[in-house]
Structure 1
Amino acid sequence: MAEFKHIVRIADTDLDGNKPLVHALTGIKGIGLRMARAITNHLGLNAREKLGNLSDEEIEKLKKFVEENIEELPSWMLNRRKDLYTGKDLHLLGKDVDLAKKLDIERLIKIRAYRGIRHAKGYKVRGQRTRSTGRTGQTVGVQRRKK
């Protein structure tokens, strides 16, 4: 039997070899539990097998799929459908997720959309109340009347 690998590197992320395959894959930013299950089912791997116990061929197959061919999964599972710049269905991983989010917010600010203005001012964006929460600076309370 092949030796146990304590750390496996996939998509520029070090994954724990002691975890089951589906839970280890969630360590990659952009892959949740549902996506991890879809990947293991698509590749025909045992989801409960520890990542460190997989053979080198299986790890290479998994690595290649996650880094290059993840768009083979149904488009409704991908995290960046109909990308604004390319028009394609993409699935972003790692630092690309943060970069795309930052660029989207910058675009909203640039076109002066309502959400962009809220982001720029540092207010809550999704309709939450701001009267009592989300404050910065000194707290405001009720003052007592002097007797």
Structure 2
Amino acid sequence: MRVVDSFNLYRLLFCMQFHGVGARCLNIRAGMEIPDNKPLKFALQYIHGIGRARAAQILSELNMSNKLAMDLTRREVVALDDVLSKYVIGRDLAGLVDRDIKRMKDIQCYRGIRHVDNLPCRGQRTSTNARTRKGSQRVAVAASKKLKK
């Protein structure tokens, strides 16, 4: 029987299969997974709060080339985890945004009222657009014509 070190065993635990197609993920921090088969620049963007610019900044901070996430060594994973711990990302960021929106609703500011009414709160027009925020409930005009007869 071959002895498997704990790091590779840890990686194998996060290997899942859906209908014969394997999806492997590398677990960076608690609850944050990035796909193994993508370059690191794009794999980091799967974490909530990291976009293109932040991913490029993290890679330049680590002086790391844009290689596949599965090719990372233990040291590189630990260094990546240390750099990611400096940023507010993932569930922490989502909780922070939720608290900010709740505070705006509580103090009844303009943006808070717009959030409560489920309308856009950054100055967008609502007479013709904002279908995503307002929903697609449309009033039938033909019903009012029938009543007039």
**Structure-1 separation of matches of 2:118 and 2:48:** 25
Q: TM-score, normalised by structure 1?
A: 0.70
Output the CA distance in 1 between the equivalents of 2:137 and 2:105.
28
SS in 1 for 2:46: coil
Provide the alpha-carbon RMSD of the alignment: 2.4
Give the superposition deviation at 1:26: 0.8
Higher relative contact order, structure no. (Cα contacts within 8 Å, ≥ 6 residues apart)? 1
Structure 1 residues 1-147: aligned runs within 5 Å: 6-11=24-29, 12-47=31-66, 49-67=67-85, 70=86, 91-133=87-129, 134=131, 135=134, 138-143=137-142, 144=145
TM-score normalized with structure 2 length: 0.70
Counterparts of 1:124 and 1:52, CA distance in 2: 41
Identity of aligned residues (%): 32
Quick check: which one's helix share is greater?
2
Structure 1: unaligned runs, 5 residues or longer: 71-90
Aligned to 1:19, the other structure's residue is in SS state: coil
Unaligned runs of 5+ in 2: 1-7, 12-23
Report the Cα distance in structure 2 between the residues aligned to 1:98 and 1:21, rounded to whole angstroms. 23
| Distance change >3 Å, CA 115–CA 21, structure 1 → 2 | same
Determine helix, strand or coil for the equivalent of 2:125.
coil
